């Protein structure tokens, strides 16, 4: 038999943004102006990067190339690997990754668009956006990282302060 006393337990994380963090120390590489055989040339670049043991993140395809992110310390090594290919590329240094934690973020309809809009309307250039089941990731200039994090935190706190019935009306 049980004791008869069963304590209440808190369960799910609240909807919305639970935490924002900033990671510094990245560089973004842009490969562009590939005139023909774009996918073939992209693969050549990726092969050259893999050959020197560099892991890339946040690959995005563009009509005439692609962009991706690497840790800042390997940026020079990476440039050295791509240069011999004769393919046009540039490296943007001092990039930061802003991570916005929100459980089941994709189920929160409009949340990703809202966060992107917060950045854009505040003059912050986003180089890349990605998401996981419990977080969203944005690559921005280092100087914008902390500012974006606090803007998102302030917006989330304002939303949190809304009465619950308003939130339910919105749904």
Partner 1 sequence: MRIKVMKFGGTSVGKPESRLTSALRVISAKEQGYSPVVVVSAIGRKGAPYATDTLINVLREIDPTVEPDSRELDLLLACGEILSAVIFSHTLKTLGHSAQTFRGGQAGIRTDGVYGDARIVSINPSSIQRCLDEGKIPVVCGFQGVFAPVQGAPGGELTTLGRGGSDTTGAAIGAALKAEAVEIYTDVDGVKTADPDAVKEAPTLRKVTYDEVAEIAHLGAKVVHPRAAEIAMNYGIPLWVKNTFTDDEGTEIVGRERFPGRRVTGVTHTGKLVYLQFDLGCANDADRVMLESRIYQTMAKYGISLFMLNLSPSSTGFAVPRSQYPTVENVLDGLVIPVAGEEKRIYLIQIGQHASKEVETQASLLESFGEVKRVPAQLTEGCTMVSLVGHEYMQTPGLFLDVLTTMTNGQVTVLQTTDSDYSLSVLVPEADTNRAVKLLHDRFHLAEVR
| Contacts to partner 1 by CB under 8 A | 1-2, 4, 6, 8-15, 39-40, 42-43, 46-47, 49-50, 53-63, 67-68, 103-104, 106-107, 109-114, 116-117, 120-121, 123, 126-135, 137, 164-165, 167-168, 171
Rounded Cα–Cα distance for residues 98 and 25 (Å): 12
Q: Which two tokens stand for residue 112?
A: 């990703």
Q: Tell me the closest approach of the beta carbon of residue 28 to partner 1, in angstroms.
A: 11
Rounded Cα–Cα distance for residues 86 and 136 (Å): 35
Rounded Cα–Cα distance for residues 141 and 72 (Å): 13
> Smaller CB distance to partner 1: residue 60 or 142?
60
> Smaller CB distance to partner 1: residue 63 or 86?
63
Among 30, 57, 51, which Cα is nearest to 42's?
30
Q: Tell me the closest approach of the beta carbon of residue 150 to partner 1, in angstroms.
A: 19
Q: Tell me the closest approach of the beta carbon of residue 140 to partner 1, in angstroms.
A: 11
Q: Tell me the closest approach of the beta carbon of residue 129 to partner 1, in angstroms.
A: 4
Virtual CA dihedral for 66, 83, 144, 123, nearest 10 degrees? -50
> Smaller CB distance to partner 1: residue 58 or 89?
58
Element (H, E) at 28: strand 19-31
> Smaller CB distance to partner 1: residue 14 or 84?
14
Q: Tell me the closest approach of the beta carbon of residue 51 to partner 1, in angstroms.
A: 8
> Smaller CB distance to partner 1: residue 6 or 36?
6
Helix/strand/coil for 48 = helix
Rounded Cα–Cα distance for residues 31 and 87 (Å): 7
């Amino acid at each position: 038999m049980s004791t008869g006393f069963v304590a209440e337990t808190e369960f799910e994380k609240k909807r919305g943004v639970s935490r924002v963090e900033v990671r510094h120390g990245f560089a973004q590489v842009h490969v562009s102006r590939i005139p023909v055989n774009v996918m073939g040339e992209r693969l050549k670049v990726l092969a050259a990067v893999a050959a020197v043991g560099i892991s890339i993140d946040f690959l995005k395809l563009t009509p005439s190339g692609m962009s991706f992110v690497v840790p800042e310390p390997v940026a020079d090594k990476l440039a050295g690997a791509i240069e011999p290919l004769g393919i046009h590329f540039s490296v943007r240094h001092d990039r930061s990754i802003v991570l916005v934690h929100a459980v089941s973020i994709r189920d929160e309809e409009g949340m990703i668009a809202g966060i992107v809009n917060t950045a854009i309307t505040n003059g912050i250039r986003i180089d890349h956006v990605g998401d996981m089941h419990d977080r969203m990731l944005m690559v921005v200039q280092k100087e914008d990282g902390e500012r974006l994090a606090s803007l998102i935190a302030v917006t989330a706190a304002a939303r949190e302060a809304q009465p619950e019935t308003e939130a339910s009306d919105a749904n």
